[in-house]
Structures are given as C-alpha cells and as structure tokens.
Structure 1
C-alpha cells in the first residue's frame, strides 16, 4: 500500500515587519516609502502576517527589519533605536510562535555593529542577522563588515543579505518605472554576492552562512567565470555556504536557482508584504514544474531553511562538555 505524501513544510525566509515605534505615530515613524496604505498596514501588523501565512499553509516565517527601511540609506544609525528594534524583534515569537526574528545591525559600522549583533544574538536570543548589501559605497568584503560576519560565524547563525536601493535609483525609475528600482536593488545585492566570493571570507569563516535575495541573481553570469562557482566546481557538487531565496514561486526562476546553486542552497521566500504569501498548492506545483523531485522540493520549501535555523543549536550540542 502506497503511503500518502506528507504536505510540504514551507518556511518563508524573506518577510518584513517594522517595530511599533516605526509605525504611524511612533517616535521613529518614517514615510511609507511609497507603499500603498494596505502594504504599510501589513508591515506594521504582525497579526496580518500570521493570518495570511496560516491561511496559505506556510509553517513559519523569518522576520526582518532592515537598516535601510528603519534608518534610511545614508547617515548615522541611532544605536538606542537599533537596540529597541532588536528587543522588539526578540518578543515576536513569544506572541506568535510561527515568527522567527532576525537581528538587525549596521554591519558597515565596524565594531559597533558587531557589538549589537553579539548582544542581539547572545542576550536577546535572535536566530540570525539581516544586513544591508551595501552602505556608503561599500560592500560585504569591506573590512568594516568583517567583525559582524565573525559574530555570525562564531554563533553559527545565518545572515540574510538584503538588497538596498541603487545610488542612481531615481534615474532607473525614470527609465523603467519601479521595475528599474528593483533591478538596481538586484545590482547592489549581486555585487555584494560577488564581493564575498572574490574575497577570503568563505575560507576564513567556515561557520558563515549567507542568504541573498533573488534580485541579485544576475550576478551568476559573472560568478560562473571562475572560482568557487566555476563549471567544474559545480559539476563536482561543491556547495559554498551561500543560499539564494526564491522571492516568489516562478518555476523558471526556481529552475535557474537550483540548477546553478543546487537544490540544497535555495530557500523559499517572498519579500512579504510586497509580495503575497506562498500558497502551499501553488508552490508545490511550481517546484514540480521546475523539475524538482520530492526530496529537492522539500529542501527548497522548508528543509534548507530549517537546517540553517538549527545550525546554532546543532553546533552548541556538538561542542557541549556533556557531549564530550
């Protein structure tokens, strides 16, 4: 007798919420960033995320609030406000167990950014980090970012690298509308990815696991020309600790991601509330259309994310004196 196939466990690795202090009337309130009123309402209402994902069949969601969205693309970051944001993110799972908060820090501020990352992970208990892909013309291989990445590697927590606006985004918008803005963000995310694979970071920090948004997918054309993603390296099944999210469920994009990086290096994600929740039925159908078998589909839908979220726990168990 054939056993029924269990449903996919879906973990969305790319969702956003803003702390109450950044909502309408809050002391750090900012403009809507051009968001429609409904998007703005959702991003400041955790219950909206929980309800929509529950209805869609999504098990859990990784929640982030980025430096760019909270403090803008330029200028200093208010440390007290940053700590307040992380303290709030640390309470999310208390009220909503399906939400997994990631700490936010200004990785480009050197030791100050690393200190807040350390506090948010070791004291607040957040499960990972989100950092901007660029700030003030610098990218992830910049020496200022190294201390924050060292914190993440030491604690074995994943780092989500979020796209930021291109410095000339207004020209891109004038040329191609908001899709031009998205393309510019993809360029910034792609350069951040390339900066990592051309540096010694992956070798120096074996405990570092980075997740990039699919907006930066165009960088694989350059990545394939040599190094860790050369054709022979990929053919040998070598997989650096770098992941890309799907930002939706387009089967052609999923096929490209899994074909280049491998199904064990792709995680489901949306950019909610900009994009709608992943439907259990539609994601499953798209994974099949992308040519993934059942095992590969389960990795992308939630298995890889689950593994990333357990890295810290597994490392703690393996290094515990009780396990010696």
Structure 2
C-alpha cells in the first residue's frame, strides 16, 4: 500500500486581527466574495480545510499589497504588528507556519525587520511583493532584505501584485484579465532576477514565484541559465514555482521546465480551495511524475526549504 503524501501548501493567506472587521486597519471585502473574505479573516477555516484535505502544513502570508495597498507609505509599526501575529499563529496552530511580511523596497529598514522576524520571532521565511512604485525585486533597494534571507537560509516567496493598468485588463477579460496582469508582474520579477547577478552573488538565496508568472518561461528559455543547453545539463538555480492548485498539465509544464525538485504544491488559499490528498496524488500521476517526484512536489521540496536554516545551525554546532 502506498504511504500517504506529506503535503505542504506553500501559498496561503490570512489577514491579522488588526485588518479584520472592527480592527485598527480594517480592510473592506473589496473584490473578494463574502465567503473568501470570511475565510481570509478566520484562521480556523484554514485549519479545518487542511485537516479535511489531508494537508500536513500550510505556509501563511499577509502581503504588503494586501495590507497596505499598491502605493503610498507602509508604516513599520503596522508591519511589525502583522509579523508578531504571524509568529503567534504558528505557535498556536501546529499545521500552520508563517512567512514574515516586509516592504522589501524600503532598503535597510526592511532588512532590519526581516532579521527581527526570522531571528527573534522564528518565522520560517519572507514574503515580498514582486514590484512596488515601478521597481522590481532585482532593484538595489531590495538587496538588503535578500541578503538577510540568504544569510539565514530562509525561502522568499515573491508574490504577484496588481498590474498598473489592471482596470484595462479587467475591462477586456474580467477577473481573468486581472490575474493575467498579476502574472505579468510576477513574471517580470522572475526575469529581473535571472538577468541580474543576484543568484551568483547570493548562492543561499531561494526564491519562490507563483504559477501566475509562468508565462515568463517563454522568455527565460531563450538563453542564459534557463536556456535549452542549461536545462539539458540539469542545471537548476535556486528558483521555485508553486502549483496554485493541482492541474496536471500545469504541473507537467513546471516539472519539465524547472525540474520536479523545484516545484512546490500551493493554492493561494482562500482564493482557491485547499488541496486534497487524493486529488493531488491523482494529478501528480497524470502529470507523469513517479512516486519520488510526486513526494518532492507534494511536500518534500517545501520541507527541505523550510529546514535549510536548521541544517545550517546544526552544522555550525
């Protein structure tokens, strides 16, 4: 009998209490349907769905864009409050772990908060926006935060943000146009990294992008570290993509281009439903993955990323 999959959802969202109804920074439901708004403000809803679906662990984030909008000031005190809550959440719920939120484009201020969140609060990684104020993550302002992540060997989830002309995209294609625009921003962030010297200069930097940005592989495949020869040689930079669900054709594309060891199960919960162990196993098989590859995608890769800092500490001891 095949052993159950150890499933880790690398991509789930919750809003801290101060951003919920009645909180200091209360956010309206906005474009969210009432049920999605209820879930994103209710940690127990995520915990219950993980248990029902047979998911071992979910990585919870609250992004700068979702908490503070696309532009304008980002008060450090509010960011610290969000991270304090994420640390408490992980402590209270064994099936949840948190990635600290930082405004990575704020230079040294962001780096100091990243250091606090990782070292003092014990959060498992960082989540940063793909872009802010017309700059992307290869910008010099982001470098201090990425250096902190590399030094402590924690993963960085590079989250999609809305396209500046999202209204035009939505007018043309509805909500899918908005998703496509977010994917474009995430894809440009990915391309900005692979065309920079970041990965060479920070070999312990591990970046996770969302499947929304997958279209950028068409450009990445034209040469360089993702050119055909490099991929045939099995060269795999420390860049990962999540699955945002379990569509077998998307998983097949991800595993074929990046390698199964660079693909992470994820959902974007509560925008998408929580993973289900049986459905995920079927999709991984339909994608052509063998048992070992399926276990890597389902949770093994995420466990390895989340454990790098602990391996480093053990080696130092």
TM-score range, shorter chain: over 0.9
1:186 aligned onto 2:183: yes
Equivalent residue runs for 1:289-308 within 5 Å: 289-308=286-305
2:174 match:
177
Distance, in Å, in 2 between the alignment partners of 1:201 and 1:28 is: 35
1: CA distance, partners of 2:158 / 2:47: 23
Q: 1:318 offset after TM fit, Å? A: 1.2
Report the secondary structure of 1:40's partner residue: helix
SS at match of 1:211: strand
Question: Number of matched residues?
Answer: 317
Cα deviation, 1:92-127, whole Å, max 9, x if unaligned, reads 122111100110000001111111111111111101
Structure 1 distance, partners of 2:164, 2:12, is 24
The equivalent position to 2:203 in structure 1, one of 195, 202, 206, is 206
d(CA) in 2 for partners of 1:311, 1:76 = 33
Instruction: Report the counterpart of residue 153 of structure 1 in structure 2.
Output: 150
Residue 54 (structure 1) aligns with: 51
Runs (5+) with no aligned partner, structure 2: none
How many Å apart are 1:40 and its aligned residue?
0.7
Residue aligning to 1:309: 306
Q: Which runs of 4+ in 1 moved over 6 A?
A: none
Alpha-carbon separation, structure 2, partners of 1:206 and 1:64: 24
In structure 1, how many angstroms separate the alpha carbons of the residues matched to 2:51 and 2:220? Answer: 37
Q: Which one of the candidate residues 266, 288, 311 is aligned to 2:263?
A: 266
Partner of 2:22: 25
The TM-score with structure 1 as length reference comes to 0.97
TM superposition shift of 1:296? 0.3
SS across alignment from 2:157:
strand
Distance 2:201 2:50 in 1: 38
- Please state if 1:224 is matched with 2:232: no
Q: Which residue of 2 aligns with 1:134?
A: 131
Find the counterpart in structure 1 of residue 163 from structure 2. Answer: 166
**Residue 34 (structure 1) aligned with residue 31 (structure 2):** yes
Alignment of 1:92 with 2:89, yes or no, is yes
Secondary structure in 2 aligned to 1:8? coil
Q: CA deviation at 1:31?
A: 1.8
Superposition RMSD in Å: 0.6
TM-score, scaled to structure 2 = 0.99
Offset of residue 261 of structure 1? 0.1
The unaligned stretches of length 5 or more in structure 1 are: none
Alignment of 1:266-285 (within 5 A): 266-285=263-282
Aligned-residue offset at 1:33: 2.8
Task: Tell me which residue corresponds to 1:70.
Answer: 67
Distance 2:198 2:311 in 1: 22
